[in-house]
Structure 1
Amino acid sequence: MNVLIIGCGYVGQRAAQAWLSEGHSVSALTRNAENATRLAAQGITPIIGDVTRPASLIDLPAADLLLYAVGFDRSAAHSQRDVYVDGLANVLAEIHARTGRLIYLSSTSVYGQTGGEWVDESSPCEPIRDNGQVCLDAEQVIKSQLGGDSTAEFQILRLAGIYGPNRLLARVAALRDGEPLAGNPEGYLNLIHVEDIVRTILACAERGVAGQTYLVSDDRPITRRAYYETLAQLIGAAAPQFGGGGSGRHGAESLNKRCRNRRLRDELAVELAYPTIETGLPAALGELQ
């Protein structure tokens, strides 16, 4: 199988290595020569280009599978919409006719629920933040450009909060220093270990239903308080302290929902390596200890 990855970063690189280990051919788009050299050293064929510049995409190869896993680089000059929505449209305009299947990594931020409700793939998507609206608009680009093509196969994976080695552990220093944490301590977090994202991508490539959306989260949503208490215990820090109710991103208007992964389990038959943070956090912290 020939795989093309757009966005060969934290998740994409791990998926690439999994496919390479199975004997597949993997190419990846990158914006600069330094990254191209690094990818080549890993056995990945680099293509230099930028999703925001359509003319730079003409060398994208035909692929049996396209994984679109672009993250947002805050140091770059482009907006999230430029990259997620317009960039995706540029890529699909160039390559969809010579791509067998698309797997697109979206986000559970498309759900705007704030009352701790359970959500799944059938729940209404009414984002309350710009990033959620951008992700939802990107999903619509796929459906509008590929949905009418009877030969096109695509799946959308809505990822919960990603954690793993060197990811989602930024609060470790704050916990060790005893700094108060922002956010509603009783609000729910929905998480997924990076290794389980890769497992889901591979399962989706093998048996995903065309046009289907999958919510990718672990088995048990956890309150922010319980998450940080667990993290504090693992690093030997004092119990976390939360400062006020706050407002804005981390306050009363914060997202607060519980994600249900039943379709992931039943339809894709994914066996999670880290179904809860009790096993996932120690594994993610391994490199810090």
Structure 2
Amino acid sequence: MAHMFIFGLGYSAKVIKSSLERIGWSVSATGREGDFAFADTRAVQTALERASHVLSSVPPAEEVDPVLETYGDALGKRWLGYLSSSGVYGDTGGAWVDESAPTGTGRRTARAEADARWLDLGARVFRLPGIYGPGRSALERVRSGRARRIDLPGQVFSRVHVEDIARGVIAALEAPNGAYNLADDLPASQNDVVEEACRLLGVEAPPLLSLEAADLSPTARGFYAENRRVANGKARRLLGWRPRYPTYREGLRALARRSWPAAQ
């Protein structure tokens, strides 16, 4: 039986695990909801010996990749996957980027270095934009009063539904190694997404604020510091991947129906 070992059973990895198990895979993982503690090196290395495939969703910590630093020598010549970020491309002023674009010029230098190291090992590296899905979308932010509309004309972002990430990883199980952007087909401003969530919930959109007046966290301000559109053509060509939710509209509509059947 094919066995996937996942480092870091976080939000996206849990959906990947469930998707693999539905098609008959055995999956084990590190993490609070996983099978092993990351620091239990004996148990992890024993599990790695049984694994036919290894996927890491662990981001850099203190400028290094914990998985590569601790277990890099045990990864071997098996299928490897890594959940990276489209943040490795940095700010492009709203221009499109594909996998041939330079990396390491933005604020996520440690992520770019980890991305490059996994590529050197022959991994399938999945570069992900803003991730949303059940329990983590503009719908929750609107309902909780945390949604913001920021007055930044021309600012756009790409995003991807978490279920489409899982579909992309599964599509890459038999695909060549290399980098793959998994992003939907319609980069859009955060304002557009918030306004659509408000429409679905039948509430007024929050006021338009300047970046300074929005009182954002440093992480959120960093999000607005970059502006790019992420192209998904390579994943379409080589993986045969097609997003089930090609834009935020389909994604939010499906989430609203799942959580709030009365939403229109």
The CA deviation at 1:155 is 0.8
Letter in 1 for 2:135: N
Residue 209 (structure 1) aligned with residue 176 (structure 2): yes
Instruction: Provide the residue aligned with 2:29 in structure 1.
Output: 28
C-alpha separation in 1, matches of 2:99 and 2:151: 26
How much has 1:140 moved relative to structure 2? 2.5
Structure 1 position 20, deviation (Å): 1.5
Corresponding residue to 2:204 among 235, 238, 250:
238
**Partner-residue secondary structure (3-state), 2:103:** coil
Corresponding residue for residue 75 of structure 2: 96
Q: Which whole-Å CA distance do the structure 2 matches of 1:49 and 1:86 have between them? A: 9
In structure 1, runs of 5+ residues without a counterpart are 37-45, 72-79, 147-152
What secondary structure sits across from 1:67 in the alignment? strand
Match of 1:123 among 101, 107, 110: 101
Q: Which of 186, 191, 194 is residue 162 of structure 2 equivalent to?
A: 194
Residue 4 of structure 2 is aligned to residue 3 of structure 1: yes
Q: CA deviation at 1:60?
A: 3.2
The CA deviation at 1:180 is 5.0
What per-residue deviation string (whole Å, max 9, x for no partner) do you get for residues 245-271 of structure 1? Answer: 439753896110111111111111112
Deviation for aligned residue 1:183: 6.2
Instruction: Tell me how far apart the structure 2 counterparts of residues 27 and 245 of structure 1 sit (CA, whole Å).
Output: 42
Q: String of CA shifts for 1:19-51, please: whole Å, max 9, x gaps.
A: 2222222111235xxx35xxxxxxxxx23333x
Query: Paired residue for 1:283, among 254, 258, 262?
Result: 254
- Aligned equivalents of 1:221, 1:120: Cα separation in 2: 13
Query: Which whole-Å CA distance do the structure 1 matches of 2:203 and 2:255 have between them?
Result: 17
Q: CA offsets per residue over residues 195-235 of structure 1, 9 Å max, x none?
A: 110000000112x212x100110011012221111111111
Q: 1:183 to 1:96 in 2, by over 3 A?
A: farther
Q: Return the match for 1:85 from 57, 60, 65.
A: 65
Match of 1:165 among 126, 134, 150: 134
Give the structure 2 partner of residue 47 of structure 1.
Answer: 36
The corresponding residue for 1:256 is: 227
> Which residue does the alignment assign to 2:116?
140
1:40-70 deviation per Cα after TM superposition (whole angstroms, max 9, x unaligned): xxxxxx23333xx756743333221101122
Listed as ranges, the gaps of 5+ residues in structure 2 are none
Contact 1:113 1:256 in 2 (8 A): yes
TM-score (norm 2): 0.84
- From 204, 228, 241, the counterpart of 2:194: 228
Q: How big is the alpha-carbon RMSD for the aligned residues of Structure 1 and Structure 2?
A: 2.6
Normalised to the residue count of structure 1, the TM-score between the two structures is 0.77
SS at match of 1:70: coil
Equivalent pairs, count: 252
Farther-moved stretch of structure 1 (56-65 vs 235-244): 56-65
| In 1: Cα distance, 2:88 partner to 2:125 partner | 12
| Equivalent pair of 1:3/1:27 in contact (CA under 8 Å) | yes
Query: SS at the partner of 2:185?
Result: coil
Structure 1 residue 168: deviation in Å? 3.0
After TM superposition, give the deviation of residue 285 of structure 1 in Å: 3.0
Helix, strand or coil at the partner of 1:204:
helix
Q: Which runs of 4+ in 1 moved over 6 A?
A: none
